[in-house]
Amino acid sequence: MLQSFKMALKSIWGNKMRSFLTMLGIIIGVAAVIILVSVVSGYMNTVVESFASMGVNQISVNVNNMQSRSLSVEDMYEFVDEHPDLYERITPNVSVSYPLKNGNETMSSTSIKGYSEDYLGIKEYEMDTGRNLSYADCMAEKRVAVLGYYTAVTLFGSPEEAMGQKIKIGANSLKVVGIVERQDEDELEEGGTDDFVWLPYSVAAKMSRSANISSYIITTRSTDNTDECTDTLETFLYEVFKNDDFYTVMANSELLDELNSQIAMMSTMLGGIAGISLLVAGVGVMNIMLVSVTERTREIGIRKALGAKKSVIMQQFVIEAAVTSSIGGIIGILLGSLGTGAIGTAMGISAAPSFGAVLLSFGVSVGIGLLFGYMPASRAAKLNPIDALRSE
């Protein structure tokens, strides 16, 4: 075995260019598998992290209130209070479509929404300056607002300067009572995570001229019983509306599970596509090994005449094919690892070589050497010593 390995290395080194061209398909295939799977995985992990930051314990509820059947804010709060073992927090969710103004400054991309005092805890944010919305603000319809960090800096220069100032949303004037702590440490940008205004939901509903609030966000005590939480909620809503077409319940954890499933499918598909190049490379290995057998027919004849068994001849050529593929696989792993880091940096994502992709691609490359090297090795082992010695 050791002697066959040494002879394989000697043969590869003696035909450097041909050996390199043989390995090239393996190198490209292995590198492609590692880069594609790892970069896609890194990008999708970034998407998942971004999605998870929305809160995997959140359930979004939308209802279509009618005159005969409707659900009030009080009804929703009462339902949540009746199930303290399942639900933790609740807030109405009311969108306001008017632009935000302060003097001559207008911000049209700012997210303006109405929430309860629980929304700060739902988002797991902290206050930078001032206070959060309160229960009293919502009940008394106080015209107050909590700003995101970017919004405060853009309109007033700093969170401290924004405190107590007036802002205008459409024709409505509101007093700034608090600034939320900065969320994006890298860059403050228009329409980003720090560009928002929170109002008491009752005030936002009046601004939007919405008599019935139809959207809510509920958080669960645990993500382990999400199915029970959604089932209980759907049962309650069905009792109110008598028709499941009039409401929707969507748990973020279910969306995240679906996203993870899609990621796994995409990674497998891309890895399979890249793996086709490894199959093509295997055909190249087989062709070169057939040429090698033809070139070394006389050598095989001499060895068989001296008593070499078929198994020894076969072992020599199979090992040579496997070593060629293995060296190509190792070079491919190195290039794939370097390429993954470079592409990840260029894309601005955290991408590291996937251990599974490295292991799979290297295993396939070695397997290709063994599989596609078998036929040429078998041909060499079956040569008749006399005919082989006669060949030129």
Look up residue 182 and give its DSSP letter: P
- What whole-number distance in Å separates Cα of residue 234 and Cα of residue 251? 12
Q: Who wins on pLDDT, 150 or 104? A: 150
pLDDT at 81: 93
Contact by Cβ (8 Å): 223, 229: no
Contact by Cβ (8 Å): 20, 328: no
pLDDT at 5: 61
Rounded to an integer, the average pLDDT of 255-267 is: 74
Q: Who wins on pLDDT, 114 or 344? A: 114
pLDDT at 346: 82
Q: What is the pLDDT of residues 36-75, one digit of tens each?
A: 878 877 877 777 666 656 677 889 999 988 877 888 899 9
Task: State percent of the chain over pLDDT 90.
Answer: 31
pTM reported for the whole predicted model: 0.60
Cβ partners under 8 Å of residue 186, min gap 6: none
Question: Which pLDDT band, with edges at 50, 70 and 90, does 18 fall under?
Answer: confident
Rounded to an integer, the average pLDDT of 209-236 is: 87
Report the range of poorest mean pLDDT among 65-69, 157-161, 247-251: 65-69
Rounded to an integer, the average pLDDT of 245-265 is: 79
pLDDT at 53: 62
Rounded to an integer, the average pLDDT of 150-158 is: 91
Contact by Cβ (8 Å): 191, 197: no
pLDDT at 328: 83
Q: What is the pLDDT of residues 316-346, one digit of tens each?
A: 767 777 788 788 888 888 988 888 888 888 8
pLDDT at 298: 67
Query: In whole numbers, what is the pLDDT of the chain averaged over residues?
Result: 82
Question: Which pLDDT band, with edges at 50, 70 and 90, does 12 fall under?
Answer: low
Identify the CA nearest to 60 among candidates 247, 261, 195. Answer: 247
- What type of residue is 360? L
Q: What is the pLDDT of residues 168-199, one digit of tens each?
A: 998 889 999 999 999 887 777 888 889 999 99
Identify the CA nearest to 351 among candidates 339, 334, 361, 364. Answer: 339
